[in-house]
Structure 1
Amino acid sequence: MKRKTRISSSDAALFRQEVKQANPLKQDKVTPYRHLPTAQVKRAPRVDALPLHSESESTMGAGGRFIPDPVEASEALLFHRPGLQRSLLRKFQRGKFTLEAELDLHGMTVTEAEHCIEEFLSECRQRNIRFAVIIHGKGHRASTPYPALKNSVNHWLRAYHEVLAFCSARPADGGTGALYVLLKTAPRDDASARDQ
């Protein structure tokens, strides 16, 4: 065990003198991600996602939309669209790719988070970003065992056609409090592909 070092009275006095003029920050919140000026882009239509397993009548919401079962903070999430290559999915789940974008939803309400995710996915699509991470947190301060943001993000991402897959991140990237998101890339223009 490391021993505590005592600060001499002269060092303490010097420190107090140096920080005497410091003013505390009035606001210490950081914006979740940088809003870059972008051109207006038409948003991709939301579609009903196909579930990984057959759903019962109790998991169908209004309009026949699939609603995933609630998950607890420690539960890992995994979703992928049919037809995704197994090798790509394995690489994706292991975090063997370069993250190109990040969205941190900590401290947001569910409504704010939904709006941020819409903007974030739109910006990712515009920039042709393939791999992103969305940090929703583990909901330790939640009054129920089912964190609202984690469950909402799990539901919302399935509804976006451009989301090919998502899974809980590795512990180094946030574990069950974050999701890796695999996005569709824009189709290449045949004329530009021939020129290369």
Structure 2
Amino acid sequence: MNQSARDDLDFQALMGDVQPLTRGRGRADTGRGARSPSEAQLARRESAEAELEGHGFLSDDFVDLVPPFDPLEYRRDGIQEGVVDRLRHGGYAAQARLHLLRRPLEECRRSLPPFIHEAYAHDLRSVLIVHGRSQAIDGAPNVLRSYLAKWLREFPEVQAYVSAQPADGGLGATWVMLRKSERAKAANRERQQKRRG
């Protein structure tokens, strides 16, 4: 008898009374029947979903590093250059500020979404984020500044952002223009209709 035949006999001897699962039952039967998740499991699931909703889309994966003396600038399609110029020169008052200077990247990642969402919920349009930058001429790029440039593009509420003027923090701060909420648009339409008569 060859080795393969012996292996088959040994295997059949070990599996003697084992029966295959019946069709349609791909799971092991624990004898408890179908159970719904416990209260603790539901709470953990809700907490995880809330955390993902808050900042799960802000990736801390690879980012192109922005050189320390390059200004940040971004605008969505349809945003006029004049609006960005006015934002750049501090033409809109800072309605809220977020200070991220010398904070760990993960803390900044957690702080940014609630700040943007709350500002938008309160119909704020112009906010300033202070993040810092490298001070040395040949210094390494500021990692937070680079991530911020990437993250802000991921918010649908953000219409544009630009580096601030020296009086407002220079390259270590970024002006952010948020879009109008539907509530603010409706209020604006109502004011315009009243003016027209």
TM-score (norm. length: structure 1): 0.61
Alpha-carbon spacing, 1:169–1:191, altered in 2? closer, same or farther (3 Å): closer
Q: What residue is the counterpart of 1:153 in the other structure?
A: 148
Q: RMSD of the TM alignment (CA)? A: 3.3
What pairs up with 1:25-174 in 2 under 5 angstroms? Answer: 69-140=64-135, 145-174=140-169
Q: Determine the structure 2 residue equivalent to 1:187.
A: 182
Asked if the contact 2:55–2:110 (Cα under 8 Å) also holds between the matched residues in 1, the reply is no
Distance in 2 separating the partners of 1:44 and 1:68 = 17
How far 1:193 moved relative to its partner? 5.0
Task: Give 1:140 deviation, angstroms.
Answer: 4.1
Q: In the aligned structure 1, how far is the partner of 2:105 from the partner of 2:153?
A: 16
How far is 1:70 from its partner?
A: 1.7
* Alpha-carbon distance in structure 2 between the residues aligned to 1:154 and 1:192: 30
Q: Could you tell me how far apart the structure 2 residues matched to 1:44 and 1:164 are?
A: 18
Corresponding pairs, count: 138
Residue 194 of structure 1, CA deviation:
4.5
* Gap runs ≥5 in structure 2: 1-49
Q: Which has the higher helix share?
A: 2
Percent of matched pairs sharing the same residue: 27
Superposed CA deviations along residues 129-177 of structure 1, whole A, max 9, x for unmatched, are 1001001101449xx6121111111110011111100010000111000
CA deviation string 1:49-104 (max 9, x = no partner): xxxxxxxxxxxxx9xxxx76321222111101011022212211221111101001
Report the CA distance shift for 1:187/1:140 in structure 2 as closer, same or farther (over 3 A). same
Segments of 4+ moved more than 4 angstroms: 42-47, 189-196
TM-score, length of structure 2 as denominator length = 0.60
| Residue 145 to residue 124, structure 1, CA distance change in 2 (3 Å) | same
| Greater Rg by CA | 2
